[in-house]
Structure 1
Amino acid sequence: MLLGQSASSEGTPAAAAPTTDRVGFPKDYRTRFKVLGVIVKEQALRVSTVYGNEQAATVTSRDHLPFPEGSIILVEFSDALRDANNQVVRDANGALQRGEVDHIDVMKRGKGFGETYGENRSGEWEFTGYRLDGSYTTPPEKSAQCAACHRTAGPENDFVFRMRAAPARM
């Protein structure tokens, strides 16, 4: 299902999702959260920065799973930084630099979270997407596709993709 789409062209009902935002936009995430990794997509010229609150940052390997209740993982998505001539800016090591943030996806773990996703439930996580001003890109009632996607990360990873990834380049 495409982002924001509530039903398929065949008329299938939309997947169940929360109706209230229990995730919340952490406005001060850049100062309060720890950078857990940076994902650079060279072909797409995209840079994603993964942040975690104190609870989420305690999980450094599968041996520490599941994530503690109250864990928040946030991914900040941005295009590569460009100069005045529209050329991609790289650091001294040749890595793409982060440009303006496009949107932020946030997942939060809590007791009983995710129940409303039904068959799309991915553990005790709920998901919401935001712009930097706190407005929604993916409101709670449209977040079933987030839960469905995170199911593919698997219960052995507590439905978190970074648990499968190699260490992020910082």
Structure 2
Amino acid sequence: MGLSVENSVTQSHTRTHKTFLITNYMLLGAASACIFLTLSLRLLPSLCGFFLILLHVVTIASAVSGCSIVTSGSNKSYAAHMVAMVLTSIFQGSVSVLILTRTSDFLGYLKSYVREEEGETILKLAGGLCVAVFCLEWVVLGLAFVLRYYAFVEGQSAHPRNERVSEEELKNWPWPFQV
């Protein structure tokens, strides 16, 4: 009976990890598509365009690092990953609102070389992808928290604190501790 409970916890952990990885892959695809859409506006000389591309690059880097850090990284690297993901998701959300509400103004700041109608269409597509990236980042953050919690619980269950020490284990201890 204990085996089936442990087996169901392991299956739940495995499903959560697979969902986390799939969501990270979707996040990588959406962020790279945003980069290509932004590059299709031909806005490399613009400082605003550079920061928009840099935001997507940071999103990709945090998604790639999150795949390994969440399950096996240290607490400091996990905290840095979570802070980076929260900040990029906040910026993604604000950029998407800016793109979708003030498309022509935002296109003017980008100093694009494409025609205005085509630029607005491309920018609205990028804004929709930014909304998708924003939502995916919060899903990834939630799944990362759940996976880290599973790792913490499994680590605690391997070494319970209230376990009594047997007399055989006490015999192997140094003299001052053999009370």
TM-score (normalizing by structure 1): 0.23
Larger Rg over CA atoms: 2
- Higher normalized strand content (fraction of residues): 1
Structure 2 length normalisation: TM-score?
A: 0.22
Richer in helix (by share)? 2
